[in-house]
Amino acid sequence: MERVIIFDTTLRDGEQAAGGTLNIQEKLGIARQLEKLSVDVIEAGFPISSPGDFEAVRLIAKEIHTPIICALARAHPDDIDRAWEAVEKAKRPRIHVFLSASDIHLLYQLKKSREEILGMSRDMVVRAKKYTDDIEFSPMDASRTEPEYIYQILEAVIDAGATTVNIPDTVGYAIPDEFGSLIEGIFQNVPNINRAVVSVHCHNDLGLAVANSLESVKRGARQVECTINGIGERAGNASLEEIVMAIRTRKDFFNLTTNVETRQIYKTSRLVSELTGFTVQPNKAIVGANAFSHESGIHQDGVIKMPITYEIMDPRTVGIPASSLVLGKLSGRHAFRERLAELGYSLNEEDFDRAFSAFKELADKKKEITDRDIESLVAEEQRTVSEVYHIDRIQVSCGDRGIPTAAVRLIAPDGQVLADAALGTGPVDAVCKAINRLVGVPNVLTEFTVKSVTEGIDAIGEVLIRIESESITYTGRGADTDIIVASAKAYVNALNRLLAAKKVAG
């Protein structure tokens, strides 16, 4: 079977999602997991956009060896030179050049003619080709561009040295049959198209990103650009897990394959969700909490008798255990380690000891520990690894007749114990004000979300907080059976990210 190249742009287009900013180490952590997932290409970032993005791409290029490491660049000499500086140490570097092609963009944004765009496209591919043989070119907003003009651009950039030509549905405007016809037209009307891989990059503004991508694959495209959990600009990108599992599940229809190690999908999804702060909706295909759940009695009966009656995929193929091992306060280290392994976590001894200690504390509060409890617990422990400030103690007083008061004690980076108290409109407000007084970093809280990780009155509550400082958004998450404590953890997590970013920038 022919292979479809999976081009992951979680670290570039995915990070463009509002509020999804990642620091350098978080980007590297995701890149390492993407390498385990066996994606073919990692678009690591847009190096000229900021010093932090440049450093992240350069670090990933040095540390990640199996996938192609790609850097994005506008059709501008400085962009291309900077992109090469970022990826030159990669074992397999790629420069991805893009330039608007639609008359809408040319008229209102670039103020340039088609002839000028054609010349810039050709010249910048030639410039990039001086650095590496692996060059990708994207005529942005291709789905709203006259097909004949797309054919001209593609022929020119392939002659100039582009080895991959990407057709972006930049604003999610295309309908599957229409987009498929554009791909088919490219194969029929670009004379040198056999010298390049045809790629697609679809956005989800009409909820059609995956459908458009799969239709393109059916019509001959052999690279799909996608993101974990479908995150990205506006309504997001084509979801990697949905693309990969559709091709795998319907081999009879596509007669194609990918290199992706699908058993790493669920773990990768959880990692990206955790670090970006974007929760995965329960009904999300492949990785949502309900993706392999059955409530209907008829469905349950069928699945018990034969899973294939209502499950078209074995959950184990995406890294979700088919069976559930119930853990509680009497469970030992071995059982806990086995359960972590089944869920896809491989922790070193220090991290395991911390996680096991937290598990025992949780088990004293809850009768049964579910898989989602464990995932939340491990994520909470991983959040503490790169802490600047650490919560030592919280005490809250509130009620309908009293004034909400919070006393907070933090451990500073130098080990100093800091303590203060504050009044608030409610217990969470009081806690945040007390923390702010201790940390002393100006910020505005822009989002506060609470959800239950599991069912029951003893459920773990997970809090997501977004704060803004100097027009940049930072996300924090915290989990605990006490929602006030979870809120404090989330707020400190967001502040720690803000402080880490300022340290890098400084």
Mapping DSSP onto H, E and C, the string for 16-66 reads HCCCCCCCHHHHHHHHHHHHHHCCCEEEEECHHHCHHHHHHHHHHHHHCCC
57-106 pLDDT, tens digit each = 999 999 999 999 999 999 999 999 999 999 999 999 999 999 999 999 99
Flag residues of the chain having pLDDT under 70: 293-306, 310, 321-327, 342, 366-368, 380-387, 453-458, 504-506
Q: CA–CA separation, 188 vs 492, rounded Å?
A: 57
pTM confidence score: 0.76
- pLDDT score for 322: 55
Q: CA–CA separation, 466 vs 443, rounded Å?
A: 10
Q: CA–CA separation, 183 vs 346, rounded Å?
A: 42
Q: Dihedral angle at the C-alpha atoms of 83, 87, 93, 97, nearest 10 degrees? A: -10
- pLDDT score for 325: 45
- pLDDT score for 324: 41
- pLDDT score for 499: 86
- pLDDT score for 386: 59
Answer whether 62's CB lies under 8 Å from 87's CB.
Answer: no
DSSP string, 246-308: HHHHTHHHH-EE----GGGHHHHHHHHHHHH--PPPTT-TTTSTTTT---SHHHHHHHHH-GG
Q: CA–CA separation, 372 vs 266, rounded Å?
A: 12
129-151 pLDDT, tens digit each = 999 999 999 999 999 999 999 99
What domains appear along the chain, each with residue ranges and CATH number? 2-276 (3.20.20.70), 297-383 (1.10.238), 390-505 (3.30.160.270)
CA atoms 339, 345, 349, 355: torsion sign: negative
- pLDDT score for 134: 98
- pLDDT score for 340: 81
